[in-house]
């Protein structure tokens, strides 16, 4: 998974305005394993039902914003608290 460097440079967390970076594939795999077990919720308290193609991690490493079909989903309620997978 890759994102244009110019796009990545302007993206930030919509909640805290912290910068984001591309998630490590190992983390994305852990998240997708949790999705397949039905054990993952987003900040909107909804179950995450679809596997991710990738993700953008907030600088404090607490939230991941999903990437689906090469499009970052930068909505607060779609953010995935990473405490669920660590």
| Alpha-carbon gap, residue 80 to 73, rounded angstroms | 11
Q: What is the pLDDT of residues 29-59, one digit of tens each?
A: 999 999 999 989 999 999 999 999 999 999 9
- Stated pTM of the model: 0.94
Please report the pLDDT score of residue 60 as a whole number: 98
Give how many domains the chain has, as a whole number. 1
Judged against a pLDDT cut of 80, whether residue 1 lies above it is answered with no
Domain that holds residue 16: 5-84
Give the three-state DSSP class for 66.
strand
């Amino acid at each position: 998974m890759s994102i244009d460097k110019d796009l990545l440079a302007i993206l930030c967390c919509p909640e805290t305005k912290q910068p984001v970076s591309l998630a490590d594939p190992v983390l994305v795999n852990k998240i997708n394993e949790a999705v397949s077990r039905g054990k993952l919720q987003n900040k909107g308290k909804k179950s995450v039902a679809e596997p991710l193609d990738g993700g953008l991690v907030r600088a404090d490493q607490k939230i991941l914003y999903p990437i689906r079909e090469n499009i970052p989903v930068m909505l607060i309620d779609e953010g995935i608290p990473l405490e669920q997978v660590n």
